[in-house]
């Protein structure tokens, strides 16, 4: 999930895995041509697999937060099925980063917490926690719920969880600072956390 447009009144997030579907489709088409040219009918299983993979990977999401109307519009395309969900800002209880667990760094995605249950903003998980945190803070800001302390709290949570590299990456992406300065600030925060225990 990435920020496609950010202004005072509007935030647009996009995600696409269409490129992977196109790649699988092209590979399947190339294998199909080879099978047909060589008369290898048993080899059609490969193109069928790539064709199926292309269909399953054909996903896209576009989320528009419109401050003037106070609505969130989530457009999703999954295997040629398009859905549209509209929510008022008031229905968004929280914005969280959902982890699939296991790996380190664990694959994660952004989820809106609503009274009717979680509403994932994307169908795919990715391992870029700092990017998700930057997007989460932008969403909280457009919803009018971002505090000046939001970034610091996120950094403290990452330091407490032992995710120093993610904390440095998040600080660098939000504050546009060099690696050495970010590492020094996170090291100072880590030292402060350890002395406070």
Task: Give yes or no for a contact between 45 and 31, defined as CB atoms under 8 angstroms apart.
Answer: no
Which pTM value belongs to this model? 0.66
pLDDT at 188: 85
Give the tens place of pLDDT for each residue, 72-112.
Answer: 999 988 777 889 999 999 998 888 888 776 655 667 888 89
Count: domains in the chain? 1
Residue 63 in domain: no
HEC profile for 113-174? EECCEEEECCCCCECCHHHHHHHHHHHHHHCCCCCCCHHHHHHHHHHHCCCHHHHHHHHHHH
Q: For residue 140, tell me if it sits in a domain.
A: no
Query: How many residues would you count in the chain?
Result: 197
* Residue 56 host element (H or E): helix 45-57
pLDDT of residue 105: 63
pLDDT confidence band for 21 (50 / 70 / 90): confident
Is pLDDT above 60 for 35?
Answer: yes
Please indicate whether residue 56 or residue 3 has the higher confidence score (pLDDT): 3
Structural domain includes residue 193: yes
Distances (CA, A) of 121 to 27, 63, 111, 174, 192: 29, 7, 6, 21, 35
Which residue segment(s) compose the domain that 162 sits in? 147-197
């Amino acid at each position: 999930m990435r920020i496609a447009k950010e202004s005072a009144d509007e935030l647009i997030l996009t995600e696409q895995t269409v490129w992977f579907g196109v790649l699988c489709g092209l590979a399947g088409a190339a294998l199909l041509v080879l099978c047909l040219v060589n008369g290898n009918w048993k080899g059609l299983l490969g193109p069928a697999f790539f064709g199926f993979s292309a269909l399953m990977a054909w996903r896209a999401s576009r989320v528009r937060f419109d401050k003037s109307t106070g609505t969130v519009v989530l457009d999703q395309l999954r295997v040629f099925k398009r859905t549209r969900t509209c929510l008022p800002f008031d229905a968004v209880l929280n914005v969280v980063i959902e982890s699939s667990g296991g790996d380190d760094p664990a694959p994660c995605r952004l989820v809106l917490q609503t009274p009717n249950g979680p509403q994932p903003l994307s169908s795919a998980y990715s391992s870029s926690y700092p990017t998700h945190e930057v997007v989460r803070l932008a969403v909280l800001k457009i919803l009018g719920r971002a505090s000046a302390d939001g970034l610091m709290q996120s950094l403290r949570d990452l330091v407490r969880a032992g995710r120093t590299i993610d904390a440095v990456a998040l600080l660098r992406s939000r504050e546009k600072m060099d690696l050495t300065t970010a590492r020094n600030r996170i090291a100072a925060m880590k030292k402060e956390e350890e002395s406070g225990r």
